[in-house]
Chains A and B, each alone.
Chain A
Amino acid sequence: SQQGEEDPQALSIQEGENATMNCSYKTSINNLQWYRQNSGRGLVHLILIRSNEREKHSGRLRVTLDTSKKSSSLLITASRAADTASYFCATLNFGNEKLTFGTGTRLTIIP
């Protein structure tokens, strides 16, 4: 089953602009994680936010979590061509170690 739904499905922006993608999920979670996938490659862990946190930063990444709305957003500031990839949110429920992934947002940065 797919826990998360990302929005938008695809996003194209000019290099230097900020990119925002959203994730909604259905059940209570322990934490929410964001991953990046370059075309034809595996996923790379970007950032993790716990259910008792509201915002977290890592370099050019900013993630927010609203557990009352069961939603999260990932902001990439000052985008670069190398940020072109698909981005997935994944949730971890309490009591198990299985990540459930969303459907992903395909981000294209136009040089």
Chain B
Amino acid sequence: DGGITQSPKYLFRKEGQNVTLSCEQNLNHDAMYWYRQDPGQGLRLIYYSQIVNDFQKGDIAEGYSVSREKKESFPLTVTSAQKNPTAFYLCASSMRDRASVYGYTFGSGTRLTVV
């Protein structure tokens, strides 16, 4: 079955640590996105990538980094510079130039908690 997989489902981070959230898709989608969701709020865009080896900052990129070395994978690193990382992180993908037709496909999310 085609889909988008995020792992782990739950992640705990100590103060000062970097952690990496995984996002893998087998939908052959060109574009991938990372969103952050805080309780009772909507989604805010962190980073997005429309092709391999290229990515752009979204609205809240500070304290985060990404890479796009393979079409299938778009990992997100939450660095120690991110002062309030506790949130629900969602990865999404879409066919290039087709988000306006088919929308996004989302993963099931990773809940990150700072301990």
Contact = CB atoms under 8 A, between A and B. Distances in A.
B101 interface: yes
A16 to B, nearest CB: 28
Given A2-B44, A98-B33, A40 B111 contact: yes
Contact of B48 (A42, A98, A102): A98
Contacts of B2: none
B90 A98 contact: no
Interface of B: 6, 31, 33, 35, 40-45, 48, 50, 58-59, 88, 90, 92, 94, 96-97, 99-109, 111
B58 A97 contact: no
B66 to A, nearest CB: 15
Nearest to B98: A97
Given A2-B44, A41-B109, A101-B44, 14 more contacts: A1-B59, A2-B42, A30-B100, A33-B103, A40-B111, A42-B108, A43-B43, A43-B106, A88-B42, A97-B94, A97-B96, A97-B100, A99-B104, A101-B43
A41 B42 contact: no
Contacts of B88: 40
8 contacts: A42-B92, A43-B92, A92-B99, A92-B100, A97-B50, A97-B99, A99-B103, A101-B35
A48 interface: yes
B49 to A, nearest CB: 11
Q: Which among A4, A40, A43, A48 has the greatest number of chain B C-beta atoms within 10 A?
A: A43
A31 interface: yes
A13 to B, nearest CB: 20
A50 B99 CA distance: 12
Interface string A38-58: 001111110010100000000
Contacts of A64: none
Contacts of B40: 103
B44 to A, nearest CB: 7
A100 interface: yes
